[in-house]
Structure 1
Amino acid sequence: MKKTLIKTFSLLFLGMFLFTQAQFRNRDRQDRRQEQDSYQYSYGFYLNLNQFDYKLVLDTKYGMEDKVNLVQTKPTYSFGAGLIGRMRLNDNFDLRIEPGLQFVERELTFNTQSNDQYAADASNPFTPKTLTEADMVRRVKSTYVDIPIMLEIHADRWYNSRPYAAAGLNYMVNLQSNSSSTDDNQQGIFRSTTHNFAWSAEAGIQFYFSRFKLTPAFRGTFAFNNEIVADNAGTPPYWTAAISTMQTRAFMFVLKFE
């Protein structure tokens, strides 16, 4: 599925680029939708292709052995969609809120069988078990309600285009966090926090057409808080004990329609 999504967005971006090139090469071109820049408020929607991953800081005792990381993370490609609300501040600044849904799947691999050596540790004794593939691999599905509030700064228009950059803060609610589950990794349930906070930075170019404004952009989102929820007391230290900090990081290609 991810290959299909990548091809679709690549072809769409290529077609849009060729079309806009043809439009802006026209010597008799007209400035389109000039009135839209002066609106106090405007709205729209967006579609995006995303790549979500975790930034991991591993526990030096349970998460590393001889400087080798025992936990690995693997990102995947997926998609999202949302709405756009814009408030004009002045000629060069806008305030934006862009609530959306991001559908995510990530994979964590725990090569932590070597933690058997700590089974007799007086502070945290446990009974070793042989880890199967199902124990070692966690496919973490997440559905984020992502609410970024961003301050946008844009240059003056050049005919029917305008570059911009934006940055702001995100409130992200993970609807599949399993944070309230009483089961943990010993029962195959990986838990993370429901309420999360992040910052985002974005850059792109706004293209003006006769009926709408189209904006291709690239966005990076980076979580502030630690999203790991520790396993229950008594669970062997094969899983969350190996991770000190786990934070979301995401990269997106966004197409906005206003």
Structure 2
Amino acid sequence: MWKLFLKINLVAAFCFATVAEAQLFRTKDRMDNLEGFDNQKFSYGFYLAANNFDYKLVLDPKFGMNGQKSLVQPKAFYSFGAGLIGKFRLNDNFDLRIEPGLQFVEREIYFDTQSNDQFAAGTPANLPFTPRELTEADKLRTIKSTYVDIPLLIEVHGDRWYNSRPYAAAGINYMMNLQSNNKSEDDNEQGIFRTTASNFAWSAEVGIQFYFSRFKLTPGFRGTFMINNETVADNATTPPYWTSAISSAKSRAFMFVLKFE
């Protein structure tokens, strides 16, 4: 299996190198591809993305920590996304981009918070409760999210070098979570982890644009970092095993994007 996988990768790398040499970097009898493409006031395309979303957690010092031990641990998984590209040319070096898309996300949070039984008598932060034996199902929360991601980015790029051009971009995102469960009356006591539906983030991206005879291909790396706390607190009568242990949870994502224009 691994030998077959290695052969496929070697063949793909050879094909890409051949095409790149022929289309992009050959200097003899070289013609610039899509010479007037970047002079258009408006252009459009689409992108595919491989993403890795994680949570940056700030834990409550009482319910989320036991001495120096963190009682809550997030785990990220790889997933994918896709979207559209709209570009408005500002001048020779700057473009304004909007790239609405969908990001499909899955994460886990593990709550090793059985030690919070010690607060059963109640504290100023929580009501008295009857301790319960946490099962593995109680401790593990699998969180699936579908974000409608709408980034507005300013792109700055250098001059073309043969049929390639480096760029960097940064901007802000509005991200709506279609699977937030924020309106659910049930909470973690019933196995439902609730998050906010409307969110804001900032993004930064770098990559290289390659010009072929019929289209522009742009591989890039993007980081997206949520600004607001996404946690919706459990109900007041729920024991402090879950969201009481989290002061804030903010998504952070790293993506490999492949754009076609």
Tell whether the 8 Å contact from 2:25 to 2:163 is kept in structure 1 after alignment. Answer: no
List runs of 5+ in structure 1 lacking aligned partners: 1-7
Residue identity in the other structure for 2:202: W
The answer to whether residue 151 in structure 2 is matched with residue 148 in structure 1 is yes
CA distance in 2, matches of 1:120, 1:52: 37
Instruction: Give CA deviations for 1:126-145 in whole Å, capped at 9, x if unaligned.
Output: 11000001100000000000
Residue identity in the other structure for 2:239: P
CA distance in 2, matches of 1:106, 1:142: 8
The answer to whether residue 233 in structure 2 is matched with residue 226 in structure 1 is no
- Counterpart for residue 34 of structure 1: 35
- Counterpart for residue 5 of structure 2: none
Mapping for residues 174-189 of structure 1, pairs under 5 Å:
174-189=177-192
- Counterpart for residue 20 of structure 1: 20
Q: How many residues align?
A: 251
Q: Among 129, 133, 143, which residue is 1:130 paired with? A: 133
Tell me, what secondary structure is at the counterpart of 2:30? Answer: coil
The offset of 1:21, in angstroms, is 3.6
List runs of 5+ in structure 2 lacking aligned partners: 1-7
Residue identity in the other structure for 1:103: F
The answer to whether residue 190 in structure 2 is matched with residue 203 in structure 1 is no
Instruction: Give CA deviations for 1:158-206 in whole Å, capped at 9, x if unaligned.
Output: 1110000000000000000000000000000000000000000000000
The offset of 1:19, in angstroms, is 2.8
CA distance in 2, matches of 1:61, 1:11: 56
The offset of 1:23, in angstroms, is 3.0
Compared with structure 1, are the counterparts of its residues 254 and 58 closer, same or farther at alpha carbon in structure 2 (3 Å cutoff)? same
The offset of 1:9, in angstroms, is 10
CA distance in 1, matches of 2:223, 2:43: 24
Tell whether the 8 Å contact from 2:24 to 2:211 is kept in structure 1 after alignment. Answer: no
TM-score with structure 2 setting the length: 0.92
Q: CA RMSD in A?
A: 1.8
- Counterpart for residue 91 of structure 2: 90
CA distance in 2, matches of 1:131, 1:10: 49
Deviates more, 1:122-131 or 1:139-148: 122-131
Instruction: Give CA deviations for 1:95-144 in whole Å, capped at 9, x if unaligned.
Output: 00000000000000000000000101253211100000110000000000
CA distance in 2, matches of 1:14, 1:64: 52
TM-score with structure 1 setting the length: 0.93
- Counterpart for residue 171 of structure 1: 174
Tell me, what secondary structure is at the counterpart of 1:20? Answer: helix
Tell me, what secondary structure is at the counterpart of 1:210? Answer: coil
Residue identity in the other structure for 1:116: D
CA distance in 2, matches of 1:225, 1:10: 44
